Amino acid sequence: DIIAVQVQKGTHAPYYLTSKGIRPEGVFVRQGTSSVPASEDAIRRMIKESDGTRFEAMRSLNQSLTFHAFTEECKKRKLKLGKQQQITLGLQSKDGVYTNLGLLLSDQCQHTIKAAVFNGTQKDDFQDRREFTGSLLKQMNEAYEFINLNNRTTASFKGLQRIDQRDYPKEALREALMNALVHREYSFSGSTLINIFTDRIEFVSLGGLVQGLTLDDIMLGISQCRNEKLAAIFYRLDLIEAYGTGIPKIMESYPNTDLLQPKIISTDNAFKIILPNRNYAASKIPNVSPLEQNILNHITHAGSISRKETEEMYDISRSKANAVLHQMVEKHLLIPIGNGRKRRYTHT
């Protein structure tokens, strides 16, 4: 008289009403004797359990996506973007469900870039601010244009020759922006930040280093990509080169500037690249004589120098060595450490 039907838990949760989509109004869970709409957090948890932990491969909560900006970028590079290409690239699953990677590249992308220009070296006085929305590719183009507008040119003269120099090397700006977009952790909802100060520009993205890597590894060009499919698409669009080349390129774009180097700061949940403004720094650094530059170069490699070492290395008198080192301290190029015969000098 009784037929018992057992339904095993499915492996592709959440199951949803196709007319409503993967949203609370389309996904229901049992609560006691009732069926109630699932919360967005519960839906994300189901997706994570079904699809794994890689964000870009999970199913997007929004399935009503368009790709106008992405299509335009593909057209520029003569790449086709049909349904089969979307599946191959990872924008859709084989059953036609859009992934989070598809969401990031769609016109409906919920993540943004916030850029601000400050008058000075602190966040006290806003001069301009923008927020870039839409597809990551649209944000990328608009953010770079905004940065480029604030990358001013300063002219100097060497004899009769005019030398123009931008505040920041274009290569460094480009690579820092690409790094912030490709390697950030998109499971966090916060915005990517670009802060432009008088003396520097900062790129701040969510998500620290991928587990197992250190800053020393990054400086050597070792890379473990957090968003492999997103990086592969940027590679196909000729926006990035092979993995691990970005940070070395940034450092190489500041040659022969021992006192002026980009800085990288990483925490558990954030990654910051700081590019110094070359023209601002040049206006603040005092004139350096050839002897003083040699001393600075030596300290860069050795860490410090003594008065006696200065005498012997550069074949000058004791009084001359004392005078040069004292003058470099007054110029704020060096700071003394210790007293008497043990006194040494190092970079400020």
pLDDT one-digit tens code per residue, 206-249: 988 887 778 888 877 777 788 999 999 999 999 987 666 788 89
Mean pLDDT of 175-194: 93
Mean pLDDT of 132-161: 89
The pLDDT value recorded for residue 319 is 92
pLDDT in tens, 100-112: 999 999 999 999 9
Do residues 178 and 296 share a domain?
Answer: no
The pLDDT value recorded for residue 276 is 93
The pLDDT value recorded for residue 258 is 56
C-alpha span between 348 and 346 (Å, rounded): 7
Closest CA to 181 of 199, 193, 195, 189: 193
The separation between the first and the last C-alpha atoms of the chain, rounded to the nearest angstrom, is 90
* End residue of a domain, out of 239, 267, 283: 283
In a domain, 98, yes or no: no
Out of 83-97, 138-152, 327-341, pick the least confident.
Answer: 327-341
Q: Which residue has the higher pLDDT, 21 or 287?
A: 21
The pLDDT value recorded for residue 52 is 63
Angle between helices 170-182 and 136-149 (to 10 degrees): 150
State what percent of residues in the chain have pLDDT above 70: 94
* End residue of a domain, out of 283, 299, 317: 283
The pLDDT value recorded for residue 279 is 86
157 pLDDT band, cuts 50/70/90, is low
Do residues 267 and 279 share a domain?
Answer: yes
Do residues 134 and 275 share a domain?
Answer: yes
Average pLDDT score, the chain: 88
pLDDT in tens, 33-55: 899 999 988 888 787 767 666 78
Do residues 274 and 300 share a domain?
Answer: no
In a domain, 264, yes or no: yes
Question: Are 279 and 165 in contact, with CB atoms under 8 Å apart?
Answer: yes
In a domain, 87, yes or no: no
* End residue of a domain, out of 238, 258, 283: 283
Q: Which residue has the higher pLDDT, 185 or 242?
A: 185
In a domain, 15, yes or no: yes
Do residues 292 and 192 share a domain?
Answer: no
pLDDT higher than threshold 80 for residue 348: no
pLDDT higher than threshold 70 for residue 192: yes
Do residues 276 and 292 share a domain?
Answer: no
The pLDDT value recorded for residue 307 is 92
pLDDT higher than threshold 90 for residue 256: no
The pLDDT value recorded for residue 114 is 97
Does pTM top 0.85 for this prediction?
no
The pLDDT value recorded for residue 22 is 87
In a domain, 228, yes or no: yes
The pLDDT value recorded for residue 265 is 92
Q: Which residue type sits at 116?
A: A
In a domain, 93, yes or no: no
Do residues 179 and 278 share a domain?
Answer: yes
Do residues 193 and 323 share a domain?
Answer: no
Q: Give φ, ψ of 340 to 5 degrees.
A: 60, -140
Q: How many CB atoms lie within 10 A of CB 114?
A: 16
Residue 323 sits in a domain of what CATH number?
1.10.10.10
pLDDT higher than threshold 60 for residue 259: no
Cα 128 to the chain's mean position, in Å? Answer: 21
The pLDDT value recorded for residue 46 is 82
C-alpha span between 67 and 102 (Å, rounded): 9
In a domain, 157, yes or no: yes
Domain that holds residue 340: 286-347
pLDDT higher than threshold 90 for residue 125: no
For 223-269, the DSSP string reads: ---SSHHHHHHHHHTTSS-STT-HHHHHHHTSTT-TT---EEEE-SS
The pLDDT value recorded for residue 168 is 94
State the total domains in the chain: 3
Out of 6-10, 129-133, 168-172, pick the least confident.
Answer: 6-10
Do residues 279 and 299 share a domain?
Answer: no
Do residues 47 and 155 share a domain?
Answer: no
Do residues 262 and 134 share a domain?
Answer: yes
The pLDDT value recorded for residue 140 is 96
CA distances from 46 to 14, 52, 54, 107 (A): 6, 10, 14, 25
The pLDDT value recorded for residue 173 is 96
Q: Which residue has the higher pLDDT, 297 or 169?
A: 169
In a domain, 146, yes or no: yes
Do residues 182 and 227 share a domain?
Answer: yes
Question: Are 313 and 298 in contact, with CB atoms under 8 Å apart?
Answer: yes
Residue 183 sits in a domain of what CATH number?
3.30.565.60
Residues near 187 by beta carbon (within 8 Å), at least 6 away in sequence: 55
C-alpha span between 270 and 255 (Å, rounded): 27
